[in-house]
Copies of this chain bind each other. A is one copy, B any other.
Amino acid sequence: MAGGYDTDIVTRLETNLDDLSPEITGAVMEKLLAAGALDVWFTPIQMKKSRPAVQLSVLCEEARAESLADIIFTETSAFGLRMEKIARLKLERRFETVTTKFGDISVKLGLKQGRIIQTAPEFASCLSASERTGQPLRAIYAAALAAYAAQP
């Protein structure tokens, strides 16, 4: 199935961590993102012997899987790692800049077959406007959405 969407194949690495301090688990997220992971996330899980553990999930391009696996084995307590190839459907991405009273904000657009079906103010752009103006992040988001909607 493609259905008008862009597609690709990515690799998902997963492991269950039941003997690693959360301090260290948290620091590993940064290392994996810095090394090129597309996404990294933690899921709370419950393992044997009443252990409140964590599942680490990493999404990456296949070419990066080996170097990211090396990081996981070196930096965490994992002795094993699950590896799956997964198809993805994706919107085409385009960026536009809108002008608000808080300054220019970048807006990410998602397109299916040339039609815009997603509009999302860029987090980094909103955050810097928030820091520059001292206004709440929520106000920046709302202004960016309003500015985009008001375009001809």
Interface residues of A (CB under 8 A from B): 1, 3, 5, 10, 12, 16-27, 29-30, 33, 39-55, 57, 59, 62, 65-66, 69-70, 73-84, 86-91, 93, 108, 110, 112, 117-120, 123, 127, 130, 136-138, 141-143, 145-146, 149-150
The distance from the CB of A73 to the nearest CB of chain B, in whole angstroms, is 6
Other than A43-B43, A79-B90, give 8 A-B pairs with Cβ distance below 8 A. A19-B22, A22-B47, A26-B52, A43-B45, A44-B44, A45-B57, A83-B89, A145-B145
Copies of this chain, complex-wide, total 6
> Is B120 a contact of A27 with CB atoms below 8 Å?
no
> Is A45 a contact of B49 with CB atoms below 8 Å?
no
> Is B43 a contact of A74 with CB atoms below 8 Å?
no
The distance from the CB of A150 to the nearest CB of chain B, in whole angstroms, is 7
> Is B118 a contact of A1 with CB atoms below 8 Å?
no
> Is B123 a contact of A19 with CB atoms below 8 Å?
yes
* Residue in contact with A21 in the complex, picked from B20, B39, B82, B108, CB distance below 8 Å: B20
A78→B53 CA distance, assembly (Å) = 18
The distance from the CB of A113 to the nearest CB of chain B, in whole angstroms, is 11
